[in-house]
Amino acid sequence: SYELTQSPSVSVSPGQTASITCSGDKLGEKYASWYQQKPGQSPVLVIYQDTKRPSGIPERFSGSNSGNIATLTISGTQAMDEADYYCQAWDSSTVIFGGGTKLTVL
Amino acid sequence: QLQLQGSGPGLVKPSETLSLTCTVSGGSISRSSYYWGWIRQPPGKGLEWIGSIYYSGSTYYNASLKSRVTISVDTSKNQFSLKLSSVTAADTAVYFCARERAHGDAFDVWGQGTMVTVSS
């Protein structure tokens, strides 16, 4: 079955750029989405179709997807961006989530 | 503004059937192209997709749960529902309902989540 792999944790200093990656076989041939989840809250969609931002999501969130890796980039990271981030793709009529990455803003 | 509200028992006994309902407000569940899905999250763990349904009743399920899952829709009530049979402690999780932008696309609107514990 298809799998998406994420690093368990990423740390970044305030104001710096955070990059969170998601790897999967030929992931670049599929659409990748990204969700932000803060403790005790429901996930929030921050990127869909590899690069698109839903209304209300700050411009500092961007995405890319090529080869076997999709990347969520947060530019000028703020303390409020500290959260768990999940990638998601679709394969053979199945929705797949990555295991999640905890972003710590030090 | 579209809102999803999940509801159902917070405690289910082992071997019984978990039943949850998601009520959609601020928009029609019958709007073309959207699917409606269920996703769960065990305590301290990641997200797991359970299945999705179109307003016509067309469904697709996670293969690992398919034998125990039934998702249905009631357009007259603007609701969709989840039934998971023969539950065990491993089914203890927060269950989210969400709108899927299109078949195979992202989930753009989420409900608040319903914590379900499986215990005798």
Query: What is the rounded distance in angstroms from the CA atom of residue B97 to the CA atom of residue B24?
Result: 10
Q: Write down the pLDDT at residue B104.
A: 86
Mutate to test the interface with B, among A5, A91, A95 (most CBs of B within 10 A): A95
How many Cα atoms sit within 13 Å of A66 on the Cβ side? 2
> How far is A88 from chain B, CA to nearest CA, in Å?
8
pLDDT, one tens digit per residue, over B24-56 is 999 999 988 899 999 999 999 999 999 999 999
Size of interface A-B (CB pairs under 8 A): 57
Question: Tokens for B13?
Answer: 């006994």
pLDDT, one tens digit per residue, over A37-55 is 999 999 999 999 999 999 9
pLDDT, one tens digit per residue, over B53-108 is 999 999 999 999 999 999 999 999 999 999 999 999 999 999 999 999 998 899 99
Q: Write down the pLDDT at residue A20.
A: 98
Give CA torsion, residues B19, B25, B27, B28, to 10 deg: 40
Q: Write down the pLDDT at residue B98.
A: 98
Verify whether the Cβ–Cβ distance A95 to B37 is below 8 Å.
yes
Residue numbers of chain A with a pLDDT score lower than 70 = none
pLDDT, one tens digit per residue, over A56-65 is 999 999 999 9
Query: What is the rounded distance in angstroms from the CA atom of residue A22 to the CA atom of residue B103?
Result: 21
Pairing state of beta strands B3-7 and B35-41? unpaired
* Residue with the two structure tokens 């209304």: A55
Q: Write down the pLDDT at residue B31.
A: 84
- Closest residue on chain A to B103 (Cα): A93
Q: Write down the pLDDT at residue A62.
A: 98
pLDDT, one tens digit per residue, over B17-26 is 999 999 999 9
Residues in chain B: 120
